[in-house]
Amino acid sequence: MMAVTKAALSKLLAIIVLTFVTIWLSRFTSISGELSLIWPVTGMSVAVALVWGRLATVAVGMGMLLWAAYQWLSPSIWPLLFAEATVPGLLAYYWPSRWTLSSNRALSSLANFFLRGLLPGAASAALFGTLAIAASDRYPDFHVLDIAAFYWVTSAIGVLLIAPLLMSVCLQGLHLEQNDRRFLLQWFGCLLPVLLLSVFASPEYRWIAHYLFVPMMVWASLIASPLLLNLLLLGVSVLVISVVRTDFNSEVADNAAMAEVIVQLVIMVLTMQVLSAVSRERQNMLRVLKRQAHYDQLSGLYNEMGLASWLDQQSSGNGTLVILRLEQINNLADLLGLEACERIEKTVAEEFSNWVPGHYARLWRGLYAAALDMPIQQAESTLLRFYQQLDGRAVCNDHSNLLMRPSMVLTSRSSAGSVELRLAVDGLATAANMTGNRFSRLSHPEYAAGNRLENKALQEAIKVGLRDREFVLYAQPIVPLQGHSREPHCEILLRWQNSAGELVSPGDFLPAAEQAGLMGSIDCYVIDNLLLMLQREPMLALQFSKFGINLSGSSLTDPQLPEWICQRVKAAQIDPTLLCFEITESQVISNRPQAVRLLDTLRELGASVALDDFGTGLATFEYLKQFRFDYLKIDGSFIKELSSSAVDQSIVRSMVSVAATLELKTIAEFVEDQATQDLLENFKVDFAQGYHLGRPAPLSSWLKLTQVNHKQSAGG
């Protein structure tokens, strides 16, 4: 408490002494030797009130009284002088800020400061000062309104010059930065010829020097700090007044000169302060824009441009480049909300950047990068531990079923800089498509980037192929094994005959289509074209009694697909019993509500439903009890080695037994030889499909075969 009191008393004493010295120095800014053109008391009162609070104005008032005693002024006017020194600060302190220039905060602050200091501050100082002069009878020849007007303007100049300078000293101290010192030397170099003109030029041309100060102060407003600018404004103002003092002798001339000088100083100071505020705000905006261009606003790390610029500036490329991505980040944003997702990202960014020293960046949502100085052999083991801590972690306590699913790739840095950053980001797709541990090391990221570009080009070509109907429907027969002679089936497959005339198999284009989110469009393409062909060529129903159509996971999650299928089937006037829609076991497990809705709609329509790839999912038999299927397609992994594997034989027998209990017909895939077919017949499997029984062929060729058989039957 004692330390605080001593500090407060020291501050008050400093204000008192500074007020007295400033008032005494203001005598040198007077033309007549008595009245100052720069009256500093009001500016000091406003400044100390805004910086240190309203009680600090008492110290300014005490400094004013000390000066009054030094000047042997009548004690009867001391209360007016005290009020002149304290009331402007109090009014400025309580005066509300009303001007808001949203595009320029520095200009808004300056405008509010002028509003406080020039209106209530200078006006109240003029009021009490005029009353004090009138009470002293020192200027009986001047009208009281003339005194008030003069007092108001000189107090306003004091506010414009003294208050900003004192506030700058409080904020910045008396320390000039290196740039300010360098600029000051240049500025004084230009000031020298102006001073020579002011001293040695004849009086009729000396006014030119006054206007030469204007471009110099404009230069200072654009370059100098607020402290240096306010010092220069005060110095130039005193210099201008000093030049004017030497040129006038008569009282009339002095009065006219005072009016002219006051107007010039007010215009110059106001203009330079406004110009400086605009310039500072522009520089602040440029700094903000520069930071925004190189730094991520959410995490505070570099953004893509910032890290790329840093990499380009490095002369040596030794080190490691790391790319980390949070998979399914958009799903997290949808489930938890954008604000919660951003908190998660901020936490991950902080952990990632604190794990190993280096330069880190958040490239965009859920994607991070790091440039490490350590070699990749050393970084790999360290980052693997971080990856293992992150992988499988619960996203938040309220959603324990939502887990982190990161992907991370490491590659050695080279002199390529930002180019290698882009290659590493492209190479992340390699890790993202890996199963299990999605932590990998890329020896040649340029190859991965090339593959990614090829994949993108393929995806665009698929879109064009769908538009131009380049995809061709194939059919592979599904042969009855248990005397179902009237129920030959087929599975509709897809081939792509691209613009070059090449036939592309599904394994070459379906993965790219799935990554691009095109599987739903491909499913609709197959359904639409099959219905159109059945409508145009009803004889196809003589060849096959069921047409199996595979539905992807994207279609299963499409809420509009069931109604769309119903509308298309009814519009084509096709018997819905010809259609059998196949969905995989994993799709049913991961999208249970959508699967239930789809199965119910399709069965109400009259179509059949088959469970594809049976045996590869989880809780298989449980889901068979819950969902209504017509066919069970045994996955080919149990059929390929059936003739030589007792385990596969036992599994297939159990599947057939369960299917018979549930009144489901079974279909075995990948039947490649007669021995396998014979075993399936003995196991009571209903249908078989594979190259041994029939290879896929264009649906149009099966139509021609049907037409030939029909003609032969008719001729016989």
194 shares a domain with 331 = no
pLDDT of residue 681: 92
- pLDDT tens by residue, 496-520: 988 888 888 888 888 888 878 888 8
Question: What length does the chain have?
Answer: 716
Whether the CB-CB separation of 421 and 308 falls below 8 Å is answered with yes
pLDDT of residue 163: 84
| Tokens 């002219």 -> residue | 260
Measure the CA–CA gap between 40 and 493, rounded to whole angstroms: 93
Q: By three-state DSSP, how is residue 631 classified?
A: strand
User: Is 214 exposed, middle or buried (CB count within 10 Å of its CB: 0-12, 13-18, 19+)?
Assistant: middle
Within a domain: 293? no
Measure the CA–CA gap between 471 and 698, rounded to whole angstroms: 11
Helix axes 144-172, 41-52, angle to 10 degrees: 40
Give 610's strand partners: 582, 631
Measure the CA–CA gap between 392 and 365, rounded to whole angstroms: 19
Give Cα separations from 36 to 79, 238, 643 (angstroms). 21, 11, 115
Within a domain: 710? no
Within a domain: 449? no
Q: Which two tokens stand for residue 612?
A: 């594809």
Whether the CB-CB separation of 260 and 271 falls below 8 Å is answered with no
Domain boundary among the residues 443, 476, 505 is at 443
271 shares a domain with 334 = no
Within a domain: 708? no
| Tokens 């790739």 -> residue | 409
Whether the CB-CB separation of 366 and 425 falls below 8 Å is answered with no
pLDDT of residue 582: 92
Go through 21-46 and write b for each residue having 16 or more CB atoms within 10 A of its CB, e for each that does not: ebbeebeebbbeeebbbbbbbbbbbb
Give 614's strand partners: 634
Domain total of the chain: 3
Within a domain: 294? no
**Which secondary structure element, helix H or strand E, spans residue 180, and what is its range?**
helix 178-200
pLDDT of residue 666: 93
Q: Which two tokens stand for residue 315?
A: 């002369």
Helices (H), 516-560: 519-536, 540-543, 553-556
435 shares a domain with 537 = no
586 shares a domain with 553 = yes
Whether the CB-CB separation of 459 and 445 falls below 8 Å is answered with no
326 shares a domain with 269 = no
Within a domain: 2? no
Please report the DSSP string for 375-429 in residue order.
Answer: -HHHHHHHHHHHHHHHTT-EEETTEEEEE--EEEEEEE--TTTHHHHHHHHHHHH
Within a domain: 716? no
689 shares a domain with 575 = yes
Name the DSSP class of 685: -
Whether the CB-CB separation of 325 and 366 falls below 8 Å is answered with yes
pLDDT of residue 152: 86
Name the DSSP class of 482: S
Q: Which portions of the chain are predicted below pLDDT 70? A: 1-4, 31-35, 97-104, 138-141, 198-199, 201-207, 209-210, 243-259, 315-317, 397-401, 414-420, 423-424, 426-437, 443-452, 484-486, 586, 589-591, 616-623, 707-716
Q: Amino acid identity of 33?
A: G
Q: By three-state DSSP, how is residue 590 classified?
A: helix
Q: Which two tokens stand for residue 197?
A: 């003109």
330 shares a domain with 242 = no
**What count of other Cβ atoms lies within 10 Å of the Cβ of residue 106?**
19
Give Cα separations from 253 to 141, 208, 250, 645, 690 (angstroms). 16, 19, 5, 122, 116
Domain boundary among the residues 223, 256, 287 is at 287
481 shares a domain with 388 = no
136 shares a domain with 58 = yes
Q: Which two tokens stand for residue 674?
A: 């007669």
Domain boundary among the residues 393, 416, 443 is at 443
- pLDDT tens by residue, 411-449: 877 655 566 677 667 666 655 554 455 787 776 665 666
- Non-local CB neighbours of 12 within 8 Å, separated by 6+ positions: 56, 58, 59, 62
Q: In what order do the strands lie in the sheet with 367-372?
A: 359-364, 367-372, 320-326, 406-412, 439-441
626 shares a domain with 539 = yes
Give 489's strand partners: 478, 546
Whether the CB-CB separation of 390 and 411 falls below 8 Å is answered with no
C-alpha 640, offset from chain centre: 52
CATH number, domain at 329?
Answer: 3.30.70.270
**What count of other Cβ atoms lies within 10 Å of the Cβ of residue 87?**
21
Give 579's strand partners: 547
376 shares a domain with 333 = yes
Name the DSSP class of 302: B
C-alpha 510, offset from chain centre: 33
C-alpha dihedral over 305, 306, 312, 314, to 10 degrees? -170
Whether the CB-CB separation of 506 and 493 falls below 8 Å is answered with yes
Q: How far apart are the first and last CA of the chain?
A: 121
Report CA torsion sign: 244, 250, 251, 252. Answer: negative
Domain residues for the domain of 336 are 304-443
Tally of CA atoms within 13 A in the half-sphere of 541 that contains its CB:
13
pLDDT of residue 555: 83
Within a domain: 406? yes
Q: Of 79, 86, 92, give the one whose Cα is nearest residue 131.
A: 79
473 shares a domain with 584 = yes
CATH number, domain at 483?
Answer: 3.20.20.450
Q: By three-state DSSP, how is residue 153 classified?
A: helix
